[in-house]
């Protein structure tokens, strides 16, 4: 029965506690208590979050066998911990199967020396700071989560849920992980290599009609996705749709569709071994030439170069 210990540090971000729901739901899906969970800290007792709420914790020294450690910190990187604290964390980590730093919890792993020579991610806004503090760490700020052997790191806030679902998939398989994601009402399961920046989020339309059209586009990339087709989904005339789309997103529908196609194609390039012509078809570029031209415009590199970089990383 794997035990998950969530290690809280003063000023931790309360939202990070939500990852426990993934393991709770895995138990429900399995109809058994497969995972057990606890909230712990170095000294025990109440630990105050960044929003002022206190959570009772068990002292780390009283923990028995721990399968997985989840390190939680705040919306800003945690200060340097004293050596005694770091050694206690190292000691229990050595006895555990795996350890994960959620969001800025990755800075604690860096302080422990567990990220040296490894790839890691954190909240995108602190990636440069992480590089400066830990020059031996290969920081990849444009990732949802990264798994390097027994050490995991995730991007900010809700990316912790993506990491938790990935841990469950490692333990219990894709079917259980997918069932957990559905119960969490996750729009889709994000792979670790996916960018922290979503084109749908960047476009950020304010009306339900334009949002509906964009979601349709993301789910039907093989369609032509003309203005007429998207306008029909939004229940607007093509002229009304084009005018409303530009007003809400600052872009034309054609430009936005190309960005969504590029995001999907790049994820397939980095995360799969599909041939390039297949990726071009599935992402809606029709052929490799058109996809290559779009990549050169947007990324300044052809898709083959991005695949080589992903594989070397």
User: Which DSSP string corresponds to 204-217?
Assistant: --SSHHHHHHHHHH
The structure tokens listed for 299 are 């990324």
- Number of CB atoms found within 10 A of residue 120's CB: 28
- Quick check: helix, strand or coil at residue 58? strand
Beta pairing partners, 69: 5, 99
Sequence-ordered list of residues with C-beta below 8 angstroms from that of 176, at least 6 positions apart, any chain: 26, 29, 30, 168, 169
Hey, what's the torsion of the CAs at 3, 154, 120, 172, to 10 degrees? Answer: 50
Catalytic residue among 70, 103, 168, 260: 103
Locate the DSSP E strands across 14-169. Answer: 36-41, 45-48, 54-59, 68-72, 98-102, 119-120, 138-139, 145-148, 151-154
Contact 313, 119 (CB under 8 A): yes
Q: Tell me if residue 177 is catalytic.
A: no
Residue 258, exposed/middle/buried by CB under 10 A (0-12, 13-18, 19+)? buried
CA–CA separation, 183 and 215 (whole Å):
20
Just list the catalytic residues: 103
């Amino acid at each position: 029965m794997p035990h998950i210990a969530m290690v809280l540090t003063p000023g931790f971000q309360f939202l990070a506690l939500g990852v426990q729901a993934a393991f709770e739901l895995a138990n429900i899906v399995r109809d058994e208590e497969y995972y057990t969970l606890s909230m712990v800290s170095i000294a025990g007792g109440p630990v105050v979050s960044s929003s002022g709420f206190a959570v009772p914790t068990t002292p780390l020294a009283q923990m028995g066998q721990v399968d997985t450690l989840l390190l939680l910190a705040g919306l800003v990187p945690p200060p340097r911990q004293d050596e005694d604290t770091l050694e206690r964390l190292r000691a229990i980590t050595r006895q555990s199967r795996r350890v994960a730093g959620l969001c800025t919890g990755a800075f604690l792993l860096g302080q422990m020396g567990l990220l040296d020579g490894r790839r890691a991610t954190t909240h995108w806004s602190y990636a440069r700071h992480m590089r400066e503090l830990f020059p031996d760490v290969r920081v990849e700020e444009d990732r949802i989560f990264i798994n390097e052997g027994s050490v995991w790191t995730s991007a900010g806030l809700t990316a912790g849920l993506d990491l938790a679902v990935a841990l469950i998939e490692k333990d219990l398989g894709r079917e259980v992980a997918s069932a957990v994601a559905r119960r969490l009402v996750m729009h889709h399961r994000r792979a670790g290599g996916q960018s922290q920046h979503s084109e749908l989020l960047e476009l950020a339309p304010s009306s339900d009609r334009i949002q509906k059209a964009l979601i349709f586009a993301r789910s039907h990339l093989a369609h032509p996705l003309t203005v007429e087709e998207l306008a029909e989904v939004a229940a607007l005339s093509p002229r009304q749709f084009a005018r409303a789309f530009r007003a809400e997103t600052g872009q034309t529908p054609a430009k936005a569709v190309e960005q969504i196609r590029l995001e999907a194609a790049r994820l397939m390039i980095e995360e799969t071994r599909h041939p390039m012509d297949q990726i071009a078809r599935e992402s809606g570029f029709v052929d490799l030439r058109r996809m290559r031209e779009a990549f050169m415009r947007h990324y300044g590199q052809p898709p083959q170069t991005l695949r080589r970089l992903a594989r070397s990383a």
